[in-house]
Chains A and B, each alone.
Chain A
Amino acid sequence: MIPLMWYLIVAAMLFCIGVFGVLARRNAVAILMSVELMLNAVNINLVAFWRYLQPDKMVGQAFAAFVFVVAAAEAAVGLALIISVYRNRNTVDADNIDLLKW
């Protein structure tokens, strides 16, 4: 039997890897990939809580399904924005996309 703690620790590690990627990568597409890692870490947590705390109610699984939906929407809009920025400014470096910065 796998303790609940193991799942939570792996999810925490995956989330922190994603945090590092979001903070440190230059390429906007790589930042988006790191966000996906963080969303997956949250999903592991939700499903582990469902399995270990309330397996008779479907709250955790339903929430994980909604996270899927939001992740798909986020990926579609984010990549559209990146492609639009690339077309207009010819870069996907997050350091150079500073039009709104003063």
Chain B
Amino acid sequence: MTILQAVFILISLITLGGGLFTVTAKNLFHAALGLILSLAGVACMFGLLEASFLAGAQVLIYIGAIAILIIFAVMLTRGVMGAYPRTNDQWSYAIVVSLALLAVLIVTLFRFNWPPGAPAAVPADSIGLLGRSLVDPALYALPFEIASVLLVAALIGSIYVARDKR
């Protein structure tokens, strides 16, 4: 086992451990911290995959914005779930369903013939290539513009929904 593989196993343990803590923690604030740990692990994984732009964007958008938003929501709705159990009464079925899904996914993955060996090298200017393909009309210019419209619509909509109507 090389050092890179050991690093990968460590990062995936952090990611999966954070995820498990997120779905099982009793205190919702602790669950949000576990989510941040898991998101940071995913950012490290993007780094291992040499997707440096996405690793940075993961830290900025997920950890910096979405996780903070979730913590705000946890604090704004704090104290209402104290007396309740943290899972509903179908949690045993949920375990069965998710383990069955995992088994199906892993069996499917092993049945497919993935190309073996080391992958080809990443182009030297991969960030520039990504930026140009996002604004290239032949590639992703239209989805890019639609994504900006979606963001504006979501922002206006969430302001309207969360507004105090009195």
Contact = CB atoms under 8 A, between A and B. Distances in A.
Interface SS of chain B: helix
Given A1-B2, A1-B118, A80-B161, A15 B105 contact: yes
Residue of B8, B42, B147 with highest tally of chain A CB at under 10 A: B42
Contacts of A24: 23, 87-88, 90-91, 94-95
A58 B105 contact: no
B137 interface: no
A99 B28 CA distance: 25
A37 B34 CA distance: 11
Residue of B19, B38, B45, B73 with highest tally of chain A CB at under 10 A: B19
Size class of the A contact interface (CB-based, 8 Å): 35 or more
Contact of B22 (A4, A8, A33): A33
14 contacts: A3-B116, A6-B5, A7-B45, A9-B109, A23-B90, A23-B93, A24-B90, A40-B62, A47-B54, A61-B130, A69-B151, A73-B151, A82-B77, A90-B80
Interface of B: 2, 4-5, 8, 12, 15-16, 19-20, 22-23, 28, 31-32, 35, 38-39, 42, 45-46, 48-51, 53-54, 57-58, 61-62, 65-66, 69-70, 72-74, 76-77, 80-81, 84-88, 90-91, 93-95, 97-99, 101-102, 105-106, 109-110, 114-116, 118-123, 126, 129-130, 133-134, 139-140, 143, 147, 150-151, 153-155, 157-159, 161-162, 164
Given A83-B73, A86-B77, 15 more contacts: A1-B2, A1-B4, A2-B4, A2-B5, A27-B86, A55-B123, A62-B134, A65-B57, A73-B153, A76-B155, A79-B69, A79-B70, A79-B72, A79-B73, A87-B164
